[in-house]
């Protein structure tokens, strides 16, 4: 009963926030001293509306944001807390360019990098600020104050630590941070040599620079992380370290709350879910004499305000028709209900059938919840499989002795295995794993690099030029051709 009451109260809280956090006016009923900040995070390339999943679509979201900013240019700031590109087929196939084009049109002011911006390598981050219009340019800065490159013993120069924008008579400093220690969420072959250092240390370092050297009146921290563990310390920072608002990302949660301070307005914190299901809204009232924030509210934009698509954004999207056609290619229909657990098992078994391996291994996070559920009778398109596995993960095979395999299974963490392996009685296809026998495994590359410290002792390691996602597509096609629909047995 208590659990039911808690769920009801949670929904009521979110409903109130979504319904009541409208555009703020100051005590005189004017907008001139109010800064409205709109936020997206973990958008994952969800440019198309998906009503069943609650995804609004970038055309409708963008129309709202663009209109607000055009009507109130001196009061509006639009920010992203990262993970904007990777996740859906059209965005991923263009390496995020379609999303960047739309963000440029909308007028985003800054974007903190997320872990999935690294999925295609550092060069696909740098390209958006390399001056080459042909490969796409972002009209807004990429932020990442705590991205440290160990070999050069310096913080990177391809991400800005902060940016400063002016709205009316106010200067607003925006500090961007990667989640501390989120290197583990990025494939090791890409992130090797990089470290995401302390967020709190970066705040204490850069906020005084923003206030003293850059003349910022307001400071907003945009972190690709849930900062709840350090918000108590952030809210208690004083003087030139004072932070006015925090925008979060990474965990795909939606929350908007206040951290009460002993004196002055609260520290407001927001994270707006994922895939464009919500748009966060922070409103800061600023005293025009002292230029200090004197009141702050936080919530979400009412979905009733995001119902009209943008003709201009639709035109941008339609410019990528060749990719849209690939995403919409029909593979067949589902012949059964498939949830994430079933889909992950299917993927592990596909790896278990790769070449002549004994065991297939995949990390649970490699199969994304955004791709599920798939219901009996649903169309299965290339885009459907892409949402299940959006990453460019390759297959790695190697040989392990039975003893090495047993030790590896002891630290298996969130790994999932093909049905050929029984982890309870340590058998492969019904036969006990022998310490001196050699077994061939096929493992997704993300998991290999995560556990390279153990797997490096294997032999005949081979990186195959084949994506795990393509194996899934081929397997589903084959099942549909043989059985008429996609069944999982």
Distance CA 408, CA 399 (A): 12
Pair of tokens at residue 77: 């700031």
- Average pLDDT value for residue range 350-355: 97
Distance CA 388, CA 476 (A): 13
Mean pLDDT of the chain, nearest integer? 94
- Average pLDDT value for residue range 30-55: 93
Say what the pLDDT of residue 410 is. Answer: 87
Which of the four pLDDT bands, split at 50, 70 and 90, describes residue 45?
very high
Architecture of the domain whose range is 28-321? 4-Layer Sandwich (3.60)
Q: Are strands 438-444 and 359-363 parallel, antiparallel or unpaired?
A: parallel
Contact 122, 147 (CB under 8 A): no
Q: How confident is the model over 137-174, as pLDDT tens digits?
A: 999 999 999 999 999 999 999 999 999 999 999 999 99
For the chain, how many residues are written?
Answer: 489
For residue 252, which phi and psi values (nearest 5 degrees)? 65, 20
Domain ranges in the chain?
A: 28-321, 329-483
Q: Are strands 154-155 and 218-224 parallel, antiparallel or unpaired?
A: unpaired
Which of the four pLDDT bands, split at 50, 70 and 90, describes residue 32?
confident
Q: How confident is the model over 374-430, as pLDDT tens digits?
A: 999 999 999 999 999 999 999 999 999 999 999 999 876 789 999 999 999 999 999
Architecture of the domain whose range is 329-483? Alpha-Beta Complex (3.90)
Pair of tokens at residue 337: 């209900």
Q: How confident is the model over 221-232, as pLDDT tens digits?
A: 999 999 999 999
| Overall pTM > 0.95 | no
Residues 6+ apart with CB under 8 A from 149: 155, 156, 193, 194
Q: How confident is the model over 109-128, as pLDDT tens digits?
A: 999 999 999 999 999 999 99
């Amino acid at each position: 009963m208590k659990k039911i009451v808690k769920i009801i109260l949670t929904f009521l809280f979110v409903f109130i926030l979504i319904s009541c956090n409208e555009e703020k006016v100051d005590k005189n009923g004017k907008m001139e001293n109010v800064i409205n900040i709109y936020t997206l995070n973990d958008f994952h390339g969800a440019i198309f509306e998906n009503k069943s999943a609650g995804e609004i679509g970038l055309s409708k979201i963008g129309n709202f944001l663009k209109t607000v900013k055009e009507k109130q240019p001196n009061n509006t700031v639009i920010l992203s807390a990262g993970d904007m590109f990777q996740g859906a087929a059209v965005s991923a196939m263009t390496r995020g360019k379609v999303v960047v084009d739309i963000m440029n049109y909308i007028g985003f002011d800054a974007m903190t990098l997320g872990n999935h911006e690294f999925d295609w390598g550092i060069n696909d981050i740098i390209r958006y600020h390399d001056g080459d219009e042909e490969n796409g340019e972002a009209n807004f800065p990429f932020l990442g104050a705590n991205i440290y490159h160990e070999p050069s013993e310096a913080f990177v120069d391809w991400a800005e630590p902060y940016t400063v924008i002016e709205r009316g008579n106010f200067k607003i400093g925006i500090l961007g941070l990667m989640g501390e220690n989120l290197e583990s969420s990025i494939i090791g072959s890409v992130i090797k040599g990089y470290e995401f250092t302390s967020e709190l240390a970066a705040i204490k370092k850069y906020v005084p620079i923003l206030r003293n050297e850059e003349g910022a009146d307001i400071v907003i921290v945009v972190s690709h992380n849930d900062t709840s563990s350090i918000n108590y310390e952030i809210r208690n920072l004083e003087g030139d370290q004072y932070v006015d608002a925090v925008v979060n990302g990474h965990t795909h949660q939606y929350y908007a709350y206040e951290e009460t301070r002993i004196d002055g307005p609260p520290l407001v914190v927001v994270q707006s879910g994922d895939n464009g299901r919500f748009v966060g809204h922070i409103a800061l009232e600023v005293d025009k004499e002292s230029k200090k924030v004197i009141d702050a509210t936080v919530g979400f934009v009412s979905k009733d305000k995001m119902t009209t698509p943008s003709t201009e954004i639709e035109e941008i999207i339609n410019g990528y028709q060749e990719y849209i056609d690939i995403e919409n290619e029909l593979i067949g229909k589902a012949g059964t209900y498939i949830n994430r657990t079933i889909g992950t098992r299917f993927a592990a078994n596909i790896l278990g059938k790769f070449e002549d391996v004994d065991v297939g291994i995949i990390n649970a996070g490699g199969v994304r919840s955004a791709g599920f559920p798939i219901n009996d009778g649903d169309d299965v398109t290339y885009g459907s499989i892409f949402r299940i596995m959006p990453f460019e993960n390759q297959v790695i095979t190697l040989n392990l002795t039975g003893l090495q395999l047993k030790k590896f299974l002891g630290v298996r963490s969130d790994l999932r295995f093909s049905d050929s392996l029984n982890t309870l009685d340590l058998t492969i296809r019904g036969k006990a794993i022998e310490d001196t026998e050699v077994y061939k495994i096929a493992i997704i590359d993300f998991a290999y690099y995560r556990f390279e410290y153990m797997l490096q002792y294997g032999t005949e390691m081979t990186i195959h030029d084949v994506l795990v996602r393509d194996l899934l597509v081929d397997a589903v096609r084959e099942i549909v051709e043989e059985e008429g629909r996609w069944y999982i047995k």
